[in-house]
């Protein structure tokens, strides 16, 4: 098995496990953490492409600290990215911020490559009521 195939398999397994865990969160309505997480999974790669990985993480970090906007969903996104990059959640922002240009590009590529699976599994596995 080639390195890229192993990496893709690792990302698929990671995404499936982490998305399945979100099904344990309370509620399934359109305002639930699960529904907000599902929406964030769909929009996160667009944010990364438009604003960059660091800006997207900073946005979720700011939202995770607020009472409104379902901070648990944003915290989960940060945890997902930390898992993809093999970083601790506490050190994620610093690790991305301190990366040199080639390192930052590798981090961004890894997140976008893995996020294909997060998008797919969030749509297929999450028990969310449609609006």
Q: Which of left, alpha, beta for 99 (phi over 0: left; psi -120 to 50: alpha)?
A: beta
Give tens-digit pLDDT for 23-76. 888 776 777 888 899 999 999 999 999 999 999 999 999 999 876 657 899 999
Mean pLDDT (whole number) for 78-104: 96
CA nearest 114: which of 6, 12, 2, 32? 12
Question: Looking at residue 69, what is its pLDDT?
Answer: 57
Q: What is the 3-state secondary structure (H, E, C) of 62-108?
A: HHHCCCCCCHHHHHHHHHHHHHHHCCCHHHHHHHHHHCCHHHHHHHH
Q: Are 52 and 58 in contact (CB under 8 A)?
A: no
Q: Specify whether the CB–CB gap between 11 and 117 falls below 8 A.
A: yes
Kindly report which listed range (4-8, 15-19, 111-115) carries the lowest average pLDDT score: 4-8
Confidence at residue 68, expressed as pLDDT on a 0 to 100 scale: 61
The C-alpha angle with vertex 57 and arms to 52 and 98, in degrees rounded to 5, equals 75
CA–CA dist 116, 112 (Å, integer): 7
Instruction: Report phi then psi at 87, rounded to 5.
Output: -120, 160
pLDDT at 119 exceeding the cut of 90? yes
């Amino acid at each position: 098995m080639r390195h890229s195939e192993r990496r893709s398999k690792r990302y698929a397994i990671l995404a499936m496990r982490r998305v399945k865990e979100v099904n344990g969160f309370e509620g399934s309505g359109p305002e639930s953490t699960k529904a907000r997480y599902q929406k964030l999974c769909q929009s996160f790669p667009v944010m990364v492409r438009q604003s960059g990985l660091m800006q997207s993480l900073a946005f979720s970090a700011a939202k995770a600290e607020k009472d409104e906007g379902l901070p648990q969903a944003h915290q989960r996104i940060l945890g997902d990215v930390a898992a993809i990059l093999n970083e601790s959640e506490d050190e994620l922002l610093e690790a991305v911020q301190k990366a040199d240009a080639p390192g930052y590009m590798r981090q961004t590529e890894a997140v976008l490559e893995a996020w294909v699976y997060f998008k797919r599994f969030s749509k297929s596995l999450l028990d969310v009521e449609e609006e």
